[in-house]
Amino acid sequence: MRRTVVNNIVSLDGFYADQSGNPTVLNMDETFDAYNLERLRSAGTVLLGRTSFEGFGAYWPAIADADEDPNNRALSSDNREISRLYNRVAKMVVSDSLEVPADHPWVATTTVIRREDAGEWLEQEKQHGSGDILIFGSRVMWNGLLAQGLVDELHLTVSPAALTEGQPLFLEPANLTLLDVRPFPGSSNALLRYRPASV
């Protein structure tokens, strides 16, 4: 059976982004990029909410073939590979209103599913194919799936920042079992890997 894996960054005090919804206030360093690449290499499907899809779809497609700039970490070899993987991996977007434009670079690899159908789709998808069903960002969507018992693991990169206010990662209480703690050499980030206690 395939795993559904949530991969997010979070502040020390549990926030996903600042009050304006900006997650880049957290420490998205080279180790963050490398772990995202590790997860994408293991993915057979990327599952996203509409906001994350639109943000990622506006940013990632062109990175692979952008002009060389050794002073721009966004164009590192890791990020270029992330771009190439995103461009070809199957993407499922949960939205009741999104229509992917015909000229969108990901139109051929993207399917849109209604919110009310997402849980049933995920239950069925976990029985077929290979690779993780990977969720980046998409906090509102995956919190709903977590409440339905459809998330198998949460991989949380903890950033060394306390925001004191902002958008919380969790939208309702959750009981988790710690599977692993992984420091990143040269970084103040650390990875906490959890399984929902009910799984």
Question: 10-64: per-residue pLDDT in tens?
Answer: 999 999 999 999 999 999 999 999 999 999 999 999 999 999 999 999 999 999 9
Q: How far apart are CA 110 and CA 166, in angstroms?
A: 31
Average pLDDT of the chain is 95
Closest among 136, 129, 115 to 46, alpha carbons compared: 136
Question: Is it the case that residue 156 has pLDDT exceeding 90?
Answer: yes
Token look-up 């270029």 returns 80
Segment (H or E) for 183: strand 176-183
State yes or no: pLDDT of 169 exceeds 70: yes
Return the pLDDT at 69.
Answer: 86
Backbone angles phi, psi at 194, to 5 degrees: -125, 155
- pLDDT confidence of residue 199: 59
CB-based contact 74:59 (threshold 8 Å): no
Q: What are the pLDDT digits (tens) for 63-88?
A: 999 988 888 888 999 999 999 999 99
CB-based contacts of 58, cutoff 8 Å, min separation 6 = none
Q: Please give the helix or strand (H or E) that residue 80 lies within, else none.
A: helix 77-88
The conformation of residue 94, written as its DSSP 8-state character, comes to E
Mention every residue, 6+ apart, whose C-beta is less than 8 A from residue 77.
none
Q: What is the mean pLDDT of residues 151-166?
A: 97
Question: Whole-prediction pTM value?
Answer: 0.94
